[in-house]
Structure 1
């Protein structure tokens, strides 16, 4: 199992390198395939040997090989963070058919969280295809695992997506300054995953997003880093809340039921 987790971490490093491209280009409407990555100052293409995740940045000492322009530390941090995320998800899910679906969610979570923090946007080119990809990967897991419980989980996933979409849409209508339609569309994707993992995960994931986002906003207010009218991106908290629901939904649900 340790070897599998390490391999997943290496895969995450490579995916993280691609996510850096996605985070930079997608909000600008640029292709993530071409042209090849280049220094934004001098325009020289990044050489293959310098494009190795994390190591390339360390070898270059954080500067462009051609012009010496500083390369933000965020690039290797995203690569390393994605590697760690992939390793942790693999450790949590094990070698199972649901693992590809969770790894996809991990990659999308990192990309969307960073874009929302940078641009306060959740781009359709990432969110909308995620409905089909998530549904296909979860259906693949249910097909291979088999059993009535798995097919019921797919039905729960569909219900979860619908419920989350509707709830967030109602919140948007009632309080339009509190969130955007991108949050509504993302809610449906997260509802697929949370519903698949059970009703407890769905409730915990939904509640955790508002709890964590609210605590962060209060901390900003108390620290003088934001005012009452400051817009705080909610996408990252939706994503983090979903992961809380997936990982801790059942234990928290069981604990709550034991209290009552």
Structure 2
């Protein structure tokens, strides 16, 4: 038991570091910026942040959430995302132990966190996360399961079936919605692209389709299926639909329906994390 908690502690620290990197990804990828250069800068005075002021979570607490140079407030979402990633990694370590799948699940979790945050902010899921993650998952997940004692063939088939089922089910939902829209005389010329505007809770499309479902979500669901398999797909879609509907209803009541675009990606990511 003591070893398990040591592993969880190490995973937590690693998660804090990964969460700090994810903050960079979430901020820069939607803007088409490099995630390597330049160094992290203060959002106010644009001064490069020194290494000792960029320690995940601790620097924020030490500086009381403000830039050392200009005193501008640093958004609390940065340390909160670091903390959340650390806790998720620690939970995975406690659940999985020293298993070959542990680093795979950590990478999968990081991808879900980044996808959810970007979709929440910008209403799209970058292909680099969804499609790039899908390709890696189809290679790495079966190999990790093989290292854990599962035959490679069945493990690969499970990932392929999960990817096809996950992406296919959401594609069918979108295709069915287009057919229904046409039958009702409503215009629906094509599927929303990776970065196109999504339905809002006050629109008819919102209540006759999954909340904010776009084609980026189809690709994200394929990634989830490749990692979790067919059973994980069914669980994720069911829970994600429930989360999306509840969130959409609450948002429509308390924040104004017309001004709140909502991506389905955060719901999918939360449901997939629950499935882990």
CA distance in 2, matches of 1:147, 1:162: 21
Post-superposition Cα deviations, 1:138-171, rounded to whole Å, max 9, x if no partner, equal 12212212344x5313211101101111111122
Structure 1 pair 40–147 and aligned structure 2 pair: CA distance change class (3 A): closer
Tell me whether 1:43 sits opposite 2:77 in the alignment. no
For residue 253 of structure 1, what is the aligned residue in structure 2? none
**After alignment, is 7-16 or 121-130 more displaced?**
121-130
Aligned 8 A contact 1:26 1:32 in 2: yes
Once structures 1 and 2 are overlaid, which stretch shifts more, 185-194 or 225-234? 225-234
Separation of aligned partners in 1, 2:150 and 2:128: 34
- Counterpart in the other structure of 1:215: 246
After TM superposition, give the deviation of residue 78 of structure 1 in Å: 1.0
Residues 142 and 154 in structure 1, CA contact (< 8 A), matched pair in contact too: no
**Shift, 1:216, TM fit:** 2.1
- Identify the residue that residue 192 of structure 1 maps to in structure 2: 226
Whole-angstrom distance in 1 between the partners of 2:81 and 2:141: 26
Instruction: Provide TM-score, normalisation by structure 2.
Output: 0.82
Q: Which residue does the alignment assign to 2:194?
A: none
- Which residue is 1:119 aligned to? 122
TM-score, normalising length from structure 1? 0.86
- Runs of 4+ with >6 A deviation: none
| Equivalent-residue separation in structure 1 for 2:14 and 2:144 (angstroms) | 20
3-state DSSP of counterpart to 2:70: coil
C-alpha separation in 2, matches of 1:63 and 1:83: 22
1:89 maps to what in 2? 92
Higher relative contact order (CA 8 A, sep 6+): 2
CA change 1:154–1:228 in 2 (3 A) is farther
Instruction: Give unpaired runs (5+ residues) of structure 2.
Output: 178-190, 192-204
Choose from 138, 142, 148 the match for 2:141: 138
3-state DSSP of counterpart to 2:254: coil
Is residue 2:214 matched to residue 1:180? yes
1:86-117 C-alpha deviation (Å, 9 max, x unpaired): 10111112210111111011111111111111
Q: Is the 8 A contact 1:203 1:245 kept in 2?
A: no
Match in the other structure for 2:265:
235
Contact 1:13 1:80 in 2 (8 A): yes
Distance, in Å, in 2 between the alignment partners of 1:193 and 1:228 is 36
Gaps of 5+ in 1: 247-260
Gap change, CA 1:14 and 1:170, over 3 Å in 2: same
Say whether the 8 Å CA contact 1:201–1:245 is kept in structure 2.
Answer: yes
- Contact 2:41 2:49 (8 Å CA) reproduced: yes
Aligned partner of 1:258 in structure 2 is: none
RMSD, aligned α-carbons: 1.8
1:8-87 to 2 correspondences below 5 Å: 8-87=11-90
